[in-house]
Amino acid sequence: MAINGKCFCGSISYQIDGCLRNAESCHCSRCRKMLGSQASVFALFEPDKFSWLEGEDLLSTYNTDENSGIQFCSVCGSTLGGIYQGQFSWVTLGCIEGDPEIKIGKHIFVGSKAKWEVLPENIVQYEAWPPENT
């Protein structure tokens, strides 16, 4: 199954020849600023299965620390994904076209969610990092 993603203006597109895994939504204040929304929603993929189809030259990078950051369209501002340990390794689910056949597995950092956010019921949630990350 190939998964395709595109930014808001359509200048940048990518393909993943494989599945996504570990879909998470993070409610921390950094993710709120990063995406201008209540939470980030992202998933991981195998880096060798990823390719940019169009517009790679229009990508801008904002480094959040030395080896990680986000990559976004310099035309429309859509955040397509990000770099972890120096490698592009996660994508935002919001830029994926169609059904990526994955659902949000857990909500993390709900302890620092915005006061105005109302969480859905019956979700798997953690106050901060889930136990396997600590």
Question: Which residues of this chain interact with Zn ion, rule CB under 5 A?
Answer: 7, 9, 11, 26, 28, 31, 73, 75-76
Q: What's the min distance (Å) between Cβ of 48 and Zn ion?
A: 25
Instruction: Between 31 and 41, name the residue whose CB sits nearer to Zn ion.
Output: 31
Question: Measured from the CB of residue 1, what is the shortest distance to Zn ion in angstroms?
Answer: 24
Nearest to Zn ion of 7, 91 (CB atom): 7
In the 3-class helix/strand/coil scheme, how is 72-123 assigned residue by residue?
EECCCCCEEEEEECCEEEEEEHHHECCCCCCCCCEEECHHHCCCCCCCCCCC
Closest CB to Zn ion among 1 and 60? 60
Shortest reach from residue 91's CB to Zn ion, in Å: 14
